[in-house]
A and B are shown apart, each in its own frame.
Chain A
């Protein structure tokens, strides 16, 4: 297991050779320059000059519909959420200036963890400063040298980085392949610590993991299970607890990791668990110990938002309507989509190549629509994707407008 707090908080300085350390980025620099030389607007330097609502902003000078944020439940402008943040700014100031284990735990951090415990009906909740740090910290701390982590090859970067930081033996399996996962679990030496890491919704294609089968297999082989529910919290499952709730396996999952930067509408990360020894994580988890805690205004907005998400069934129903309409509409227009059926609030549109993907992205932006351009190496199988993330605040009319924009842009670029 990780040495955690006993390690020094400054790494040793390594001797470096005198070569230019940036030369390894030359291919990426050339790819970006090539794209921009063709007159393409830079897809990775969009500036939101003014944010009008959860679904609209002035981007690069244009009034734009936002279809590329993770604001699934539209909580960023909720009046109660905003009021809670303002009150906390007045009462507690702009920041804590310290770690949770020193001066960084305020009443607001405890209230936020209480809200998470209630939301998930679990015994323990731990708030991190980002979702990335939650995965980095939990995974690297519980699975150390000599332990085995079995994970989906399409896992998020924060999961991979957590595996690397903990120095566990890492064994990936083919995306969503239960049989491949079981084969690897079966071959792990007897007596070794085992952790299976899964995601509820995979963010690139918006597809859902077969968690009922996967969690059962993991448990059969004596592994602990961590599920990242970043893209399903608030939206999927009867109480919005995610895919593991919908699949009926939430009681067999040892750790759920999530984020405040999606449905919750602010920034931060968390882990909830029923493990009886979970609280020791507050002393041994380095990305929790060695970083400043979230500002009081942020935890106040998160707490209010999480409590409102518990009563979010109407919003959830409307978001599903939006997802079904956009998915069906794009498919009817002739676009190739990441999933056969709508499985989440993410609808991924597969582009033939990076050049036409970037051209399509730009054509949509000129129409007044912002989506994410996702490209290798962040994407599975080197695909270029236009990723649409719907919001419960998108009106039915807005979804029709979006489909019209896709039709015009798709024809102009020659994709449909």
Chain B
């Protein structure tokens, strides 16, 4: 799966969590723009983990602030597998 495909899949997964209908770009932030609280983050991360069969620890999440960083991280994790 290339980065564009990863992006498309994550875009689909984020939809039910994007309650305010924020337009998602690579620069969209989870805490600021999307206002995700810790429970939402956990559910969203679980959805990504299930889809890609990867694990994203809270320590890794702390490094990911924007949507673009998330797509890059998931893309890299898949490449490593």
Interface residues of A (CB under 8 A from B): 148, 153, 167, 169-174, 180, 183-184, 187-188, 380-382
Contacts and interface: CB of A to CB of B under 8 A. Distances in A.
25 contacts: A153-B42, A167-B59, A169-B57, A169-B58, A169-B59, A169-B60, A170-B57, A171-B55, A171-B57, A171-B58, A172-B42, A172-B58, A173-B42, A174-B42, A174-B46, A180-B46, A183-B49, A184-B55, A187-B49, A187-B54, A187-B55, A188-B55, A380-B39, A381-B39, A382-B37
A208 B72 CA distance: 39
A380 B42 CA distance: 13
A382 B40 CA distance: 12
Interface of B: 37-39, 42-43, 46, 49-50, 53-55, 57-60
A153 B41 CA distance: 11
Query: Which 8 pairs from chain A and chain B are nearest by CB?
Result: A169-B57, A187-B55, A170-B58, A171-B57, A169-B59, A153-B42, A170-B57, A172-B42
A169 B59 CA distance: 6
A184 B49 contact: yes
Contacts of A169: 57-60
A174 B50 CA distance: 14
Given A183-B46, A381-B39, 8 more contacts: A153-B38, A153-B39, A169-B60, A171-B57, A173-B42, A180-B46, A187-B53, A380-B39
A307 B78 CA distance: 55
B32 to A, nearest CB: 15
Contacts of A382: 37
Nearest to A151: B58
Nearest to B57: A169
Contacts of B54: 187
A167 B38 CA distance: 19
Contact of B59 (A170, A173, A381): A170
Contacts of B60: 169
Nearest to A154: B39
A380 B37 CA distance: 12
Contact of A148 (B39, B46, B57): B57
A183 B39 CA distance: 18
B49 A174 contact: no
A169 B58 CA distance: 7
Contacts of B59: 167, 169-170
Nearest to A167: B59
Contacts of A171: 55, 57-58
Contacts of A187: 49, 53-55
Contacts of A188: 55
Contacts of A173: 42, 46
